[in-house]
Amino acid sequence: MHELSIAMSLVSELGRIAGEHGGAVVSRVRLRVGTLSGVDPEALRMAFPFAAANTPAAAAALDINIVRATVRCRSCGEQSMPEEPFAPCGGCGSDETEIVDGRDLVIESAELETAAASPDAKPAAHGRS
């Protein structure tokens, strides 16, 4: 269950972004999570509200864009999305592939509401050190 610490890191980052916009609240956040990132999207969804309570992201909707692994074949050069967890080339079937995508754990974008900022929103509980 490392998703809680990942959710806390996410909330910390959202608190920083909200602070940069004069105490805005975060209404929506979109993540990109690779299937090889080691993070379970559902566990992250479950952990997020606990991490976000009493922060500018407390009411944020969480969108998760799940990115499948992409491999590049060392033999034929083709890029393909294999049936995970295996990584044979989708073109020639060779096992000589390298993973080129699918490890992402990235905040793609955030939507902030400035005029409607909540007066009692507190700074992120897990500030950057």
- Site of interaction with other proteins (CB under 8 A): 1-2, 5-6, 9-10, 12-13, 17, 21, 24-25, 27-28, 31, 36-39, 58-61, 74, 84-88, 95-99, 103, 105-116, 118, 120, 128-129
Taking the complex as a whole, the smallest distance from the CB of residue 90 to other proteins amounts, in Å, to 14
Q: Which is nearer to other proteins, 50 or 118 (CB)?
A: 118
Q: Which is nearer to other proteins, 79 or 103 (CB)?
A: 103
Q: Are 34 and 105 in contact (CB under 8 A)?
A: yes
Taking the complex as a whole, the smallest distance from the CB of residue 45 to other proteins amounts, in Å, to 14
Taking the complex as a whole, the smallest distance from the CB of residue 89 to other proteins amounts, in Å, to 10
Q: Are 44 and 32 in contact (CB under 8 A)?
A: no
Q: Residue 3: how many CA atoms within 13 Å on its side-chain side?
A: 16
Exposed/middle/buried for 33, CB within 10 Å: 0-12, 13-18, 19+? buried
Neighbours of 39 (CB within 10 A): 18
End-to-end CA distance of the chain: 23
Taking the complex as a whole, the smallest distance from the CB of residue 9 to other proteins amounts, in Å, to 6
